Amino acid sequence: MNDHVERMVLQGKVDLPFTYSAGKTASRFFVELRDHQRIMGKRCPRCQRVIVPAQLFCKECFVETDEWVEVGPEGTLVTFTIVYRKENHHPKEAPFAYGIIKLDGADTSMVHFLGETDVTKLEHGMKVRAFFSEERKGHILDIECFRPIS
């Protein structure tokens, strides 16, 4: 008997819909976006850093955050990447850009879409502002995008 089995690699795609609890901190963060169009962070009681998006614990100090702080909606574009190739999983039509944005009043940065601009005119260090979706659902995409401030 021959125990040799040809090894094969198969390609496929699996969609895994899921539901999870956002937890008390993320829930409040999303409710503030949805109901008040406010971006909230939490201040670490030890290092005093304001963390955005709000987190239950400071990843630097490993202590629970407790104080809520409103930040933004304006900030600085730290860096960005432009997506030129269309893929089925992309949420927008190419070309589009993702940016890492440090909001005024925050000590951390967040990733989000950059919109309503010519992607070739994006620059590191430019000022941007959050624009909220007209229909908000309690999701990070309640911030439609960040746009450059002229």
Local mean pLDDT, 10-residue blocks, the chain (150 residues): 78 82 93 97 98 96 96 97 89 92 98 91 96 95 94
pLDDT at position 6, please?
A: 84
Beginning with the edge strand found earlier in the chain, give each strand of the sheet holding 50-51 in spatial order: 50-51, 39-43, 67-71
Total-model pTM = 0.84
pLDDT at position 109, please?
A: 97
Architecture of the CATH domain 23-148: Beta Barrel (2.40)
pLDDT at position 65, please?
A: 97
- In the numeric block, which tokens belong to residue 41? 């962070």
